[in-house]
Structure 1
Amino acid sequence: MAIDIQSIIPYLKRDPLYHQFKPFSASFRVESVTEEQSSNHMFEYVPVTVHDVRGLEKPMDLDVNGFCYMKQKTSVTSEMANTIATYQELYFEEIEDFLYNNFPQYSRFECMDLQVRRRHPDFPNSVGKRVEFDQPAGLPHCDFSPGGAVIQMSEAFPGQDKHWKGKDFDLLNIWRVLKGPNDDWPLAVCHCKSVDTKKDCATNDALYLDGFGENWLMQASPNHRWYYMSGQQPEDLIVFRNTDSFGERTRCFHMAIKNSLTVCEPRESIEVRVVAFRDVM
């Protein structure tokens, strides 16, 4: 049975500030920003209905919708997450084999990084506290803009620019929970056809002590259509596109959403970010 849920999305506010200054967030204190916030983000909190994909008659498609739900068993368990570096090579191999077997439009896959998230019981009030694992990402975003893709590729493949610059590639995420069935802060994805990228998207600088990146944040529109999967199990994969090298294909804004119907333990998840080439590297 499909279970649609009601939630609140913190969209980036449509404020005149962003006509003059680019949105940014930093993982360190920025002296020029007041109230000890290392960001110039302002938010508009919008109630939305998030539709359960279990109620869809037709499955979503990566190249049409920007995301898709698929099945794949994994040997990686929640217990392994504490020492995931030991199992990273194994998991990368699993993911690459899965992609080669299911996405023939690509000629080559390279896993770039891996992230394990374990929600702290106090999240989102745990923000700013020292936690062992990364927390759910609670803003609607794409991990990379087209410009951010260039930055990411330079960092992921240092000194190999000649092998990817000018190539046709996508930056994909492969996301799953480590325990199920999960309904706690599930990952919500937005149907790309419901997003006007010229009106609803803002490029954002992500600043770190050792570097920087550029991603996309989302501004509100009544046209946006959001989805999630109720009772997600570890074999339920979400594959979605953040961007592509030419900025022309479907992309998937996504975020973790609060679910007032949650009855399970705090969410644990693992995601891999992959570069998928459509021509030979």
Structure 2
Amino acid sequence: MTEIFTDQKRDAEIDKYNPQEHISSIFYMCPLDRSFYENEKPYFMNIPVHNMPGLKQTNVNYSRRRVAITDIRGHEDLFTLDKTGFAVAKFETSLKHSDFQDPHAIVSQYYDEVKRFLQENTDCCFVLPFDYQVRRKDPNQKSTSRGAPGRAQPFASIHADQTERAAMRRLEYFHPEEFARFRNYRIQIVNVWRPLRGPVYDAPLAMCDYRTVDATDRVATDIIFPDYLGETYNFWANPKHRLYFVDGQRNDEAWMIKCFDSKTDNDPSIAPFAPHVSFPYLKVDREQYTPRESIEVRTFVFYKV
């Protein structure tokens, strides 16, 4: 049996409760490519390249690691946005399952629910949702497939959505009025991730405690759009990474995933982001679960200072 890559030292606060662990696998950037990226920055083309001779969709290769993922069920209060980079809280929606096939319903109704959720669970003064992603798992797709619009696949490589540089550039480029109004506030990007069906026993989401991430683990990666250049983090494998999930996550439980925090410039004790990844749930037979469906809304969150 393949050896578990995760460091087996257990000294986190949750460990005194002897939490359950799930053994699964996730993808990291392939360590054999380290020297290659000294000369060519990692990238992903978020546009079709099949009619562009010589271009590849991405120059990033991944390798699989067998990891331990700790269940935080019953101990959710030990994890906060500032301490670990993620948190989980109750989220009720008035929308029906079928409503999430309607972009207008998501933007006109669900966005308001996300705003209220974040205002109730943080001390923020303003929330600006700017994007969303609905994912519907297709069991016939390869684990590395990104899927298609409206049917995006769970993302199986560990990542963080925004680099520090890309976060403020995005705010200024796409939302100049809010950039001018809030540029001197504390600014975060927080993703709100929630299952559309629960409990989730297919490709659940795992969070990585930011405190277990070394600065040299992260690799800035260009995301190339037709009209915009974004930048995210991929990660080198590190056995110190401590991963967590909520076993059987219900559709009234939502992750808050920090992707950026301007306050970390002056306070390095505050988590700037939380790497995250979906993983194969191996405790049940495939016939016993429905393919995962989820929605993630990405938001700018502002605080008075």
Deviations 1:141-193 (A, max 9, x none): 11100111023213431465422445420000111001111111001110111
Which residue of the partner structure matches residue 253 of structure 1?
275
Q: Which amino acid aligns with 2:292?
A: R
1:269 aligns to 2:298 (yes or no): no
- Give matches, 1:2-81, under 5 Å: 3-14=20-31, 15-27=34-46, 28-29=48-49, 31-33=53-55, 37-54=56-73, 56=75, 59-81=78-100
The 1:247–1:214 alpha-carbon spacing in structure 2 relative to 1, beyond 3 Å, is: farther
- Give the aligned partner of residue 114 of structure 2: 95
Contact 1:2 1:55 in 2 (8 A): no
Q: Percent identity?
A: 27
Trace 1:202-281 onto structure 2 (pairs within 5 A): 202-245=219-262, 248=265, 249-250=270-271, 251-262=273-284, 263-279=288-304
Alpha-carbon distance in 2 for matches of 1:109, 1:247: 19
- 2:15 is aligned to none
Instruction: Provide the aligned C-alpha RMSD in A.
Output: 2.4
Confirm whether residue 119 of structure 1 aligns to residue 143 of structure 2: no
Deviation, structure 1 residue 84: 3.5
The 8 Å contact of residues 78 and 268 in structure 1, kept in 2 or not, is answered as: no
8 Å Cα contact 1:8/1:45 also seen in 2: yes
Give 3-state SS (helix, strand or coil) of 1:95's partner: helix
Q: Partner letter of residue 220 of structure 1?
A: A
Does structure 1 residue 178 correspond to structure 2 residue 191? no
TM-score (norm 1): 0.89
Q: TM-score, normalised by structure 2?
A: 0.82
Q: Distance in 2 between matches of 1:238 and 1:128?
A: 21
**Is the Cα contact below 8 Å between 1:13 and 1:43 reproduced in 2?**
yes
Preserved contact between residue 69 and residue 243 of structure 2 (Cα < 8 Å): yes
Between 222-231 and 78-87, the greater mean CA deviation after superposition = 78-87
Contact 2:26 2:278 survives alignment (8 Å): no
Taking the aligned partners of 2:147 and 2:26, their CA distance within structure 1 comes to: 23
Deviation at 1:211, TM superposition (A): 2.3
1:190-246 residue CA offsets vs partner (Å, 9 max, x unmatched):
0111101x2100100001223221011111101001111111111111111011236
Distance 1:160 1:119, change over 3 A: same
The answer on 1:168 being equivalent to 2:186 is yes
Q: Does the 8 Å CA contact 1:25/1:207 hold for their aligned counterparts?
A: yes
Offset of 1:19 from its aligned partner?
1.8
Deviations 1:35-56 (A, max 9, x none): xx42111223211011111164
**What is the CA-CA distance between 1:107 and the residue it aligns to?**
2.1
Distance in 2 between residues matched to 1:155 and 1:124, nearest whole Å: 35
